[in-house]
Amino acid sequence: MVPDFLTIAEAGALIGKRELSPVELTESRLSRIERLDGKLHSFIRVLREPAVAAARVAEAEIMAGKRRGPLHGIPIGLKDIYETKGVPTTGHSKILIDHVPQQDATSVRRLTDAGAIVVGKLATHEFALGGPSFDLPWPPARNPWDTSRFTGGSSSGTGAAVAAGLVLGGTGSDTGGSIRGPAAFCGLAGLKPSYGRISRAGILPLAFSLDHAGPMAWTAEDCAIMLQAMAGPDPADPASADRPVPDYRAALSGDVKGLRIGLIRHFYENDNPADEATRQGIAAAVKVFEDLGCSVRELRLSPLAEWAACGVMIMLSEAYAIHQATLRERFGDYGEMFRDRMALAALVSAGDYVQAVRRRRELAAEFATAMADLDLAITAAAPGEAPAIDAVGKFSTFERPMLTMPFNVTGTPAMSVCCGYSAAGLPLAFQLAGKPFDELTVLRAAHTYEKATSWRSVRPRLDL
Amino acid sequence: MRQPEHWGDGIVKTLGMTRAEVEAALARAGLDVPERERAEIAAAAHVIEEMAQRVRGKRAMGAEPAHIFPPPGA
């Protein structure tokens, strides 16, 4: 009997010892999807036969002594903006409902080369920007902690599927917080690596200069395992960074003692005020890090609204350029949330786009200076627990400055880490941000925090 | 020649696009937006205007954008 919930690390260890069959593991997830996803709607498309076939190949390789690594035989899901050869990749949109790519995205190929088993394509907000829309070909994903609640977005299906144990990990993309938001609301670990760390080639773009691909899983360790497979230079992505990829998982066990952490308190106390439970969760997390030997001091940056304005102006402008022609021809075929958010972009002038890009340079420099004598920054990932799914407004993304956007503007790594549960039993989270290409320190701190606390032992009850 | 430190000061647009201005922008963009949605977009336009105000700021004429063009082979 395969447990309902397993981390990638746990399953990988069992597979490595031949105590768990990749076929049984994959079939157990497919059964779970069949049983639970009718109410979660985390999948757009389940790839049952290809997944079982791939699991059989993985099992044969492992039994023949050819295990590729900790992802070999692990069932994962792909946000449906990651292109998959011969399998429709829709962006959760009617616009691309018949789009069948000729090849896999680079990151998909790397994950499958590492032995991961793709069990399906996951729900997303339309083209990674629309909200939880009810006028698309597929319904919006629901939060497994409470199906009346929002998953966060845009990597909504990945958040729901991992939290519910339908897959052990999944891919997300993050242009303004689309990995860290759903990770926060669904209680996961979600890493937005540095811009350029993971290839964007073959991933439907939202905004070229802000898009980051990344892993979402139950733990920081699992994110490290997925990042290891996904990261690395790729000539097919002009923004790909030609930098060596360290051994992320090996570095997790390193000491965090002596790490210097800046607490960006004004982001969640003044600029986008978080609820009391979130503030207490962050305060307790700071105490955990201090007890582990880290030093924590206040870090003050430009107001959050400055970062959000810069990021949103760039995001809308670049997204509008991508969809401009189709919006003219097929406006009504987009969901209302996406198309009306895009219509706002028609109000942005070319000059203001360039001003936003100039502002980005200033803000990135400000962050680099502020971090000169720090190793990490900590702030809220979301202002509180997940709201009701029908309470998410059409323009809500723009009405309150997003706590996650600053690190899209800087292009530096940032991660959502669960720090407890609200009175309603919903996950709360903080964000750890690091220096450029220092995912390793972010992951190590998150992993150490997870080991020092009990939050990873709590899973949703799923009495659907 | 020394650049004016606050170049661009006089170009900040006044907040408060009118419904007609929003309609004109949508029409110019060629978007066929239903009436109800046009009203909602117009009501939300101030959000974009406020963000535009923030990014305009005060900066030297030569202040570079974050994106520059790396010529092939550079």
Instruction: Spell out the domains of chain A, with CATH numbers in brackets.
Output: 8-457 (3.90.1300.10)
- Identify which of B17, B32, B55 has the shortest CB distance to residue A359: B55
Least Cα separation, residue A405 to chain B (angstroms): 14
Sheet holding A117-122, edge to edge: A43-46, A117-122, A75-79, A169-174, A212-217, A189-192, A414-421, A427-434, A376-380, A260-263, A295-298
List CB contacts (< 8 A) between A324 and chain B. Answer: 29
Least Cα separation, residue A312 to chain B (angstroms): 8
List CB contacts (< 8 A) between B23 and chain A. Answer: none
Torsion angle defined by CA atoms of residues A138, A140, A146 and A148, in that order, rounded to the nearest 10 degrees:
-100
Looking at residue A222, what is its pLDDT? 98
Looking at residue B15, what is its pLDDT? 66
The residues of A annotated with a catalytic role in the active site are 79, 154, 178
| Top-confidence residue, B63 or B74 | B63
Q: Is B24 an interface residue toward A (CB < 8 Å)?
A: no
Do the chains contact at B55 and A352, CB–CB below 8 Å? yes
| Per-residue pLDDT at B5 exceeds 80 | no
Do the chains contact at B52 and A340, CB–CB below 8 Å? no
Q: Is B9 an interface residue toward A (CB < 8 Å)?
A: no
Q: Tell me, rounded to whole angstroms, the distance of Cα A86 from its chain centroid.
A: 25
| A388 Cβ neighbours under 8 A, 6+ residues apart | A148, A149, A150
Do the chains contact at A357 and B65, CB–CB below 8 Å? yes
List CB contacts (< 8 A) between A348 and chain B. Answer: 48, 52
**3-state class (DSSP) for residue B5:** coil
Contact predicate A412/A210, CB 8 Å: no
Instruction: For residue range B17-27, list pLDDT tens digits in order.
Output: 899 999 999 99
Least Cα separation, residue B54 to chain A (angstroms): 6
Do the chains contact at A357 and B66, CB–CB below 8 Å? yes
Q: Is B26 an interface residue toward A (CB < 8 Å)?
A: yes
Query: What whole-number distance in Å separates Cα of residue A177 and Cα of residue A159?
Result: 13
Do the chains contact at A343 and B37, CB–CB below 8 Å? yes
Do the chains contact at A309 and B29, CB–CB below 8 Å? no
One-letter amino acid at A197 equals: R
Looking at residue B73, what is its pLDDT? 80
Do the chains contact at B31 and A343, CB–CB below 8 Å? yes
Q: Which of B55, B58, B59 should be substituted to probe chain A, the one whose Cβ sees the most A Cβ atoms within 10 Å?
A: B55
Query: What whole-number distance in Å separates Cα of residue A38 and Cα of residue A333?
Result: 25
Q: Which of B54, B56, B58, B67 should be substituted to probe chain A, the one whose Cβ sees the most A Cβ atoms within 10 Å?
A: B54
Task: Find tokens 């880490």 and name the residue.
Answer: A417
Looking at residue A426, what is its pLDDT? 98
Question: DSSP label at A231?
Answer: B
- Identify which of B33, B49, B50 has the shortest CB distance to residue A331: B33
Q: What is the mean pLDDT of each run of 10 residues along chain A (464 residues)?
A: 97 98 98 98 98 98 98 98 98 98 98 98 96 96 98 98 98 98 98 98 98 98 98 97 96 95 98 98 98 98 98 98 98 97 96 98 98 98 97 92 98 98 98 98 98 98 82
Element (H, E) at A51: helix A48-63
Q: Is B39 an interface residue toward A (CB < 8 Å)?
A: no
Looking at residue B9, what is its pLDDT? 42
Q: How many CB atoms lie within 10 A of CB A122?
A: 32
Element (H, E) at A321: helix A304-330
Sign of the C-alpha dihedral computed for residues A152, A154, A160 and A163 taken in this order: negative
Query: What whole-number distance in Å separates Cα of residue A341 and Cα of residue A14?
Result: 46
Looking at residue A370, what is its pLDDT? 98
Give the phi and the psi of residue A164 in degrees, each rounded to 5: -85, 0
The string of DSSP letters for A378-444 reads: EEESSSSSPPBGGG--TTHHHHS--SSTHHHHHT--EEEEEEEE-TTS-EEEEEEEESTT-HHHHHH
Element (H, E) at A40: helix A22-40
| Cis, bond preceding A317 (omega within 30 deg of 0) | no
Do the chains contact at B51 and A309, CB–CB below 8 Å? yes
Contact predicate A47/A257, CB 8 Å: no
Query: What whole-number distance in Å separates Cα of residue A393 and Cα of residue A260?
Result: 38
The encoded tokens of residue B32 equal: 């066929």
